């Protein structure tokens, strides 16, 4: 794979070794889960400025939509089609249902192709960002019901703002550094596939590529981490993970041909 030409400024990074004493993985590929029921509900609610998305279950229990399952299966077939380049040795997954379902569908496609299956590791530190009191609220609902938090968010910025009972991006980055340390120790010279969430993939850029706050904000403004998009780092000759591609979906048809939002 090569660097996508989307937002090239955000892709220019200086490779560095996160943990110089450890060889680390040969490659790390991070993907976001397929479309979830909440993704579809938020898309519909935000489009009309609605306050309620109609989701009553825990964030951890959200499942994939039929489209999300299609996306995950397509990703699995794409990974299988590239087996000559090296399949993942390990599959690290968030414990949330939508990521577990995405990982299962990927593995099903590898198994259907008769390919070796990766070792599975479910890690709590790969869970989605926790929003606490503001969980499952649209932007309009936050502005109306919690104007003080909306103002504090604008003042502090996304990296430092922590919603009541929730996490800031900096909090998520801290647990990702811990997870990466363990990954480096347990996955030397191996190819790792990681299935997680948009905030996790974005903040891996922050941690691995050493993006500063302004760069992270620019990256977020350039566009969301898409469902089942692929972001990949490969180890260079100096032992540093180097960004190879960011937020690409070569396994999917053009957006106009997808089933539904």
Cα–Cα nearest to 169, from 178, 157, 180, 179: 157
By CB neighbour count within 10 A (0-12 exposed, 13-18 middle, 19+ buried), where does 227 fall?
buried
> Residue 50: inside a domain, yes or no?
yes
Binding-site members for substrate are 32-39, 98
CA-closest candidate to residue 108, choices 100, 117, 121: 117
pLDDT per position as a tens digit, 137-153: 998 899 999 999 999 99
Residue 116 lies in a domain: yes
The answer on pLDDT for 9 being more than 50 is no
Instruction: Please give the residue that has the higher pLDDT: either 236 or 84.
Output: 236
Which of 176-180, 204-208, 236-240 shows the lowest mean pLDDT across its residues?
A: 236-240
Global pTM reads 0.90
Structural domain range at position 226: 22-250
For the chain, give the percent of residues with pLDDT over 70: 91
Annotated binding site, which residues?
Answer: 32-39, 98
Query: Is residue 16 a part of any domain in this protein?
Result: no
Provide Rg for the chain, Cα atoms: 18
| Nearest in space to 118 (alpha carbons), one of 76, 59, 176 | 76
Please give the tally of structural domains in the chain.
Answer: 1
Assess if residue 208 is contained within a domain: yes
């Amino acid at each position: 794979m090569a660097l996508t030409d989307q937002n090239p400024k955000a892709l220019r990074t200086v490779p560095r070794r996160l943990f110089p004493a450890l060889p680390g993985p040969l490659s790390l590929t991070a993907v976001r889960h397929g479309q979830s029921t909440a993704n579809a509900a938020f898309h519909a609610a935000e489009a009309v400025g609605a306050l309620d998305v109609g989701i009553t279950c825990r964030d951890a229990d959200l499942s994939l939509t039929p489209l999300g399952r299609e996306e995950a299966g397509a990703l699995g077939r794409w990974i299988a089609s590239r087996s000559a380049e090296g399949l993942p040795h390990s599959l690290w997954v968030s414990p949330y249902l939508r990521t577990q379902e995405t990982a299962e569908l990927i593995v099903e496609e590898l198994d259907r192709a008769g390919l070796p299956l990766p070792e599975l590791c479910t890690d709590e530190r790969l869970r989605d960002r926790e929003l606490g009191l503001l969980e499952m609220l649209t932007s309009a609902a936050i502005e109306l019901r919690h104007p003080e938090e909306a103002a504090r968010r604008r003042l502090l910025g996304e990296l430092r703002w922590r919603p009541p009972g929730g996490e800031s991006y900096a909090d998520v980055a801290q647990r990702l550094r811990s997870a990466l340390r363990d990954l480096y120790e347990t996955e030397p010279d191996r190819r790792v596939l990681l299935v997680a969430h948009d905030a996790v993939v974005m903040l891996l850029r922050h941690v691995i590529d050493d993006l500063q706050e302004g760069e992270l904000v620019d990256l977020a403004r350039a566009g969301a981490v898409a469902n089942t998009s692929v972001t990949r780092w490969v180890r260079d000759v100096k032992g540093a993970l180097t960004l190879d591609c960011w937020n690409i979906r070569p396994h999917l048809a053009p957006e106009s041909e997808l089933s539904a939002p």
